[in-house]
Amino acid sequence: MAEVAERVASTARRPPNVLWISTHDINPDVGPYAGIWPGAEYAHTPSLDALAAAGAVYELAFASAPVCAPSRSAILTGCHPTAIGTIHMRTKAAPPPEVRLFTEYFRAAGYYTTNNVFTDFQVQTPPTAFDECSTSAHWRDRPDPDMPFFAMFHSSITHEAKLYLDDEAFAEASTAVPVGHRHDPTAAPLPPYYPDTETFRSTWARYADLITQMDAWAGALLRELEEDGLADDTIVVFWSDHGVGMPRAKRWLREAGLRVPLIVRWPSAVEPSSRPELVHLLDLAPTMLTACGIPVPPHMHGRPFLDATGAPLEPNDCTFGARSRIDEQEDDSLTVRDARFRYIRHAHPDRSPMQHSEYPDRFSTWRQLRELAFADAVSVAGGSTERRLDDAQRSTFAPGRPAEQLFDLSADPHELHDLSSDPAYAADLDRLRGALDAWASRYAPEWPIDEAALIESWRPEGRIQRTAEPEITVVDGVLSAVCRTPGASIGWTVQEPGVPRVLSDVEVATGAPEDDGRRWNLYASPFRSHGADPVRFRAWRLGFAPSDEVVVQDDHSDADRTEGAS
């Protein structure tokens, strides 16, 4: 961390600010992708249209996993979830010691970092990750208006659960879309793997309504940036964590599960463009560090796709993705995608692509697919040839699938025709097999991953390991801190403990940071003590319990440990 601080301090120019605007559960179904992604022109997105008109639209951007927490763990660490233990949904991981939430590198470099407010990163978020992590976190709260900021805002407006609200609740969730401007279900551009029913059409129209609602929210943030005179000094990035929350999309290693919108507006005058290179969302962390003159740590798996001037760097040849356990669904698959083909490898080809899953099986689209499949089965058993679903629609919940699948996305964008057994594509199949083998040998060498063994390695016999307390030395009033736990981050504060806030079940499940009302500074290098106030230190290692608190007394010579301090 000291190296980061020194590097940025020596940078002559003022580093740019960074604003991330993220949403849940959408494909590139926004206006800037019209002509790039089928049906993107359906949703009304004036704010994102304007953002793209002054920036770059990445045509081929992909999540590392088709579900939120594993995907976001990749984005916030710059690492493949298969390699750091975050691929299983809502596991509480203890990643390798070198792995940190990358915002700490921004804090160490003097940035004011905020998160409003989602923390579903597969780890308990340490207080060292952000200056402020709350529903009110904002760049406007930084102590010095000249201080550069890294601010993240996450919207849940487009989350799959919102698609299936009752009519009254849905109207309240989409107030930015006037009744006369609601998307027409009869015009919904349904993908062909969905049955053409009122249920699917109305759900797709609601999906577009929520995108428009989210667009209004994003537009408000962009206006605030303009009002503060910061638009010309700020890199703006818009992204979604994975694809739409409907069958054969979210939770599937398909284009509809992994392909996402990614729009980047540079602070300086850069020509608007549509960028064809392949991008992983986990490339965002090293790209933002590079753009702001902060060294990219060598353990990161992502690679920057822009330099500090906004110029493109060498692109990826392929992107990779994986899925493992999602809720109670036990499945393990890997995929590689180049500019034309997607190859998928299933560890359990005998398992249905649409296993029972308690959470989404409540939703109307999932229920209707199963009902139509049941009706078809009864009809066929009775001797009828009439069916309500075609082959592509039935394949979503088939009893099994091939161990390998290959799709030519240039000719077959909806991945309806598996070419894995077609001799004409044998060379492409072998090439992508080899690419996935090489990637897996490095980032998923023991695939499929035994989650129970992984958890036991993190928490032997169910015991959470504790981070060692920081060791403080004081020389001439200058405080230095180290921690014996590899990978630990150290925080310090002069505030006394308050009353810990009780986290909700959702906050606990999604890794919200502990909160006793104190703001913790990230320890990046030795510093001079602050007046007569005692300085309190604590250490956090991802996946471990935090350390006890160490208090350096007024005379800066005695270090006392406060057992169990929060």
Query: Which pLDDT score is estimated for 270?
Result: 66
* Amino acid of residue 527: F
* Amino acid of residue 417: H
d(CA 106, CA 289): 8
Query: Which pLDDT score is estimated for 294?
Result: 98
**Consecutive H or E run containing 115:** strand 112-116
Query: Which pLDDT score is estimated for 279?
Result: 98
CB 360 within 8 A of CB 160: yes
Its sign, for the CA torsion 209, 250, 160, 217, is negative
**Phi (first) and psi of residue 73, to 5 degrees:** -65, -35
Query: Which pLDDT score is estimated for 272?
Result: 81
d(CA 153, CA 117): 7
Tokens of 298: 């060598």
Supply the DSSP string of 119-148, one letter for each residue.
--SSSPPPTTS-SEESTT--GGG-SSTTS-
Please state the separation of Cα 374 from the chain's center in Å.
36
- The DSSP symbol for 320 reads E
| Bridge partners (DSSP) listed for residue 279 | 61
**Consecutive H or E run containing 478:** strand 478-482
Tokens of 212: 């428009």
Query: Which pLDDT score is estimated for 269?
Result: 61
pTM for this predicted structure = 0.95
Alpha carbon of 120 to those of 91, 96, 389, 508: distances in Å?
10, 18, 36, 10
Residue 449's SS3 state is: coil
Nearest Cα to Cα of residue 301 among 319, 325, 313: 319
Beta strands 404-408 and 489-493, pairing class: unpaired
d(CA 84, CA 103): 17
Beta strands 471-475 and 489-493, pairing class: unpaired
User: Which residue in this structure is represented by tokens 């698959």?
Assistant: 333
CB 312 within 8 A of CB 324: no
Query: Which pLDDT score is estimated for 564?
Result: 39
**Phi (first) and psi of residue 59, to 5 degrees:** -70, -35
Query: Which pLDDT score is estimated for 198?
Result: 98
Query: Which pLDDT score is estimated for 560?
Result: 52
Q: What is the pLDDT along the chain (566 residues), one digit of tens a residue?
A: 555 444 444 334 689 999 999 999 999 999 999 999 999 999 999 999 999 999 999 999 999 999 999 999 999 999 999 999 999 999 999 999 999 999 999 999 999 999 999 999 999 999 999 999 999 999 999 999 999 999 999 999 999 999 999 999 999 999 999 888 899 999 999 999 999 999 999 999 999 999 999 999 999 999 999 999 999 999 999 999 999 999 999 999 999 999 999 999 998 766 789 999 999 999 999 999 999 999 999 999 999 999 999 999 999 999 999 999 999 999 999 999 999 999 999 999 999 999 999 999 999 999 999 999 999 999 989 998 889 999 999 999 899 999 999 999 999 999 999 999 999 999 999 999 999 999 999 999 999 999 999 999 999 999 999 999 999 999 999 999 999 999 999 999 999 999 999 998 889 888 999 889 999 999 999 999 877 889 999 999 999 999 999 999 856 444 554 443 33
Query: Which pLDDT score is estimated for 10?
Result: 38
